[in-house]
Amino acid sequence: MSDIVIKECSNLDSIIGLFNEHRDYPFTYLADIHLFKMFSRLKPFRAFTAEVDDQVVGCVYAMRYMYECGWIGGLLVHKSFRKIGIGRRLLERALRFLGHGYAYLFVEPENVAAKRLFENGGFNAVYRRLNYVARTPLEELGEDHDISYDVTWDDLTAASGFRERSGIVNIGYYPVKLTKKVYEDLKTKRKILRCGSLLAVVENSYSVDVNGYTFTFNDYILKGLSVHPKEKIVEVNPFYTEDQVPDLIKLINTLAVDGKVAVWTYQEDPVVRKSPLKGSLGALVMQLYRR
């Protein structure tokens, strides 16, 4: 077989064609076509392709995100060119672009081949996402607590859920490592809240509809895109000093005044599992740290 060439891609037509050709294959996400298109307008974004005899047989994208964290998505290899190392080489090229620090990606637990590829590339599965969206206030329960910003770094790191999520929060939908430096910046911006036993990292984002697909972006991404937000979303990453469902409900009801509330948490969350919230399981969050 001819040599495999990995290169940076500026013309997305070949990538779109690759996705459309595989639209009926498992784990082909056509929503990624729109992410390639939108993110290509952002300076910290790069798309890469694998070519054999000038035919595009694979693709991936990488984005340098907030707080020196990186994001990788859109990995697809042509059905006739799998198991020969193309996915590995695309992943390596994306990681070289991201450089040092934390890199993240999502993978469905059932996608065994992709999960193995990412693990061989150094990624570790941290937790499976559990997502919940509240559009209307929920029934109030128990005591009424005021919302405050009195949360120390030690409070946060000792709270239930911090270790289980390896200190990862979702800001503007995408994962960010909550280091002490990041904590201090978020605290200054009043994005870390307390409601009784509940501690939460919050972010104001917006839903964007593109050709029937809905995406969630914050201002970090939206400022570089020429798209119109549809609806405000208040994102909540919850942590707990005690397993008190009413405190979570109270916070959701308070924040719902400003828009729809999205709770980003993990599958074994002890409070959400006991609450009236009906969440949906998402993908595995995988993490890699490069010095």
pLDDT at 3 over 80: yes
DSSP letters of 207-258?
A: EEEETTEEEEEEHHHHTT------EEEEEEEEEESS--HHHHHHHHHHHGGG
Distance CA 22, CA 80 (A): 11
pLDDT at 61 over 90: yes
3-state secondary structure of 92: helix
Determine the average pLDDT of the residues in 70-89. Answer: 97
Report pLDDT digits (tens) over 232-262. 999 999 999 999 999 999 999 889 877 799 9
Q: In the CATH hierarchy, which top-level class contains the domain 4-99?
A: alpha beta
Helix, strand, coil distribution of the chain in percent, nearest 5? 30, 40, 35
Report pLDDT digits (tens) over 102-115. 999 999 999 999 99
Q: Are 197 and 244 in contact (CB under 8 A)?
A: yes
The structure's pTM equals 0.94
At residue 240, what is the residue type?
Answer: Y
Q: Are 175 and 169 in contact (CB under 8 A)?
A: yes
At residue 242, what is the residue type?
Answer: E
Q: Are 201 and 178 in contact (CB under 8 A)?
A: yes
Report pLDDT digits (tens) over 125-134. 999 999 998 8
